Amino acid sequence: MTNYTVNKDAVAHARTLIDAGSFDADTPWSEAAPSAAEANEVIEHDDFDEFARWHLAIDPDASEGTKGRYKFPYGDFERVNRAALIHAKQRASQNGHDAIERAADDLLQRLDKARG
């Protein structure tokens, strides 16, 4: 099993967005998740750093500059999605990625606190 590392830049970015109220607490992740074309557009217009900022984990075994390097998305390139955080937390837990699970849980708690 690959031991993913927490993407600290992504966690910090998510915290900033949550604190600014830039989150979606209602839309199911299956509806809010960006398409492959939208992901490619972010990479094309910005860069892989921007794409990476939207993923809680890095796969150190995957090549840099590839989408496969970044795991556990948490938003739609504009807002944090609550359902995405729940999904990330569950997947991380099921696959033994404890640090990723904790990061997703911390963000989820922060979002729930921010929404009142």
Task: Decide if 55 contacts 6 (C-beta within 8 A).
Answer: no
Task: State which residues form the domain around 91.
Answer: 5-115
Q: What is the pLDDT of residue 89?
A: 98
Band of pLDDT at residue 116, cut at 50, 70 and 90: confident
The pLDDT score that the predictor gives to residue 13 is 98
* Entry pTM: 0.94
Q: What is the distance between the alpha carbons of residues 105 and 116, in angstroms, rounded to a whole number?
A: 17
53-86 residue pLDDT tens: 999 999 999 999 999 999 999 999 999 999 999 9
pLDDT band, residue 7 (cuts 50/70/90): very high
The number of distinct structural domains making up the chain is 1
Q: Beta-carbon neighbour count of residue 68 at 10 Å?
A: 9
b (16+ CB within 10 A) / e for 23-56: bbeeeebeebbbeeeebeebbeeeeeeebbbbbb
Tell me what pLDDT residue 1 has: 60
Q: What does the alpha-carbon distance between residue 37 and residue 16 come to, in Å, rounded to a whole number? A: 26
